Amino acid sequence: MTAMARKLRFLVSGTDTGVGKTTVACALASGFTARAMRVAVMKPAETGCELRDGELIALDALALRAAALSSAPLELICPYRYPSAIAPAAAADLDGLEPPDLGRIRAACEQLAHDSDIMLVEGAGGIAVPLTWRENYADAALELDLELILVVPNRLGCLNGAVLSLDYATRRGVRVKGYILHDVDAAPSLAARTNVRSLGRLTPAACLGAISYGQTVVGKICERLLG
């Protein structure tokens, strides 16, 4: 058994892009760090990176590193960076850059996790988004032995994406820790007020909690993940 295999480790994925994965992952990293836990973070592939002075800047990865109070090099936290804001496999093609390699990602993940209590890996888009044209984030979760935390945007229309994502992950053999409802709109809607009850009737996956709009304190969710 490797050092990484003895750790608590999670893939933070979403039903879609723009649902708050980085916000939630950073909040979790801060929450675990506040409990004096050693937190390792990773964003294996980040697209939509800005080019500054000849370097691709991975803003999500930098935010994760700051939230975890990590001093790990960005080359480990985010080994693959692309300027095009599309799926990693497509970005690699369009940008003429090397596509992600799961072997290299696993090696980086093991190195990061070695001296940590918690490993948080943030995906890009949803769990079926292609890292390469042969592998997606479900494959990454299986390769890195990550449990899925699904970020669900608490708004009208989220039920379909949540149920399909959880069902796909289960059919692929990914261990599902549960889902987090994240308010993406400041004003609560009828759907936002009823989604938690609806999802409870539609999927056996556990609701780990809900994060209100603008909230960053997730102590109860961290306790559930540790439990």
Tell me the residue range of the domain where 28 lies.
4-226
The total domain count for the chain is 1
Output the pLDDT for position 214. 87
Dihedral of CA 207/213/214/215: which sign?
A: negative
What is the pLDDT at residue 3?
39
Q: What pLDDT, on a 0 to 100 scale, did the predictor assign at position 188?
A: 80
Q: For 48-154, list the strands marked E by DSSP.
A: 50-52, 55-57, 80-81, 118-126, 147-153
pLDDT at 216: 82
**Residue 39 pairs with which residues in a beta bridge?**
118
Q: Identify the bridge partners of residue 126 per DSSP, sorted by sequence position.
A: 14
pLDDT at residue 80, as a whole number: 98
- Kindly list the averaged pLDDT for each block of 10 residues, start to end, along the chain of length 227: 60 95 97 96 98 94 98 97 98 98 97 95 97 98 98 96 98 98 91 95 97 90 94
Token pair in block for residue 137: 């984030």
Is 43 tagged catalytic?
A: yes
3-state secondary structure of 169: helix
Three-class secondary structure of residue 5 per DSSP: helix
pLDDT value for 215: 87
Selected catalytic residue, list 7, 21, 43, 177: 43
Q: Please report, for the domain that includes residue 11, its CATH number.
A: 3.40.50.300
pLDDT at residue 5 in the model? 38
Cα angle, residue 161 at apex, residues 91 and 184 outer, rounded to 5°: 85
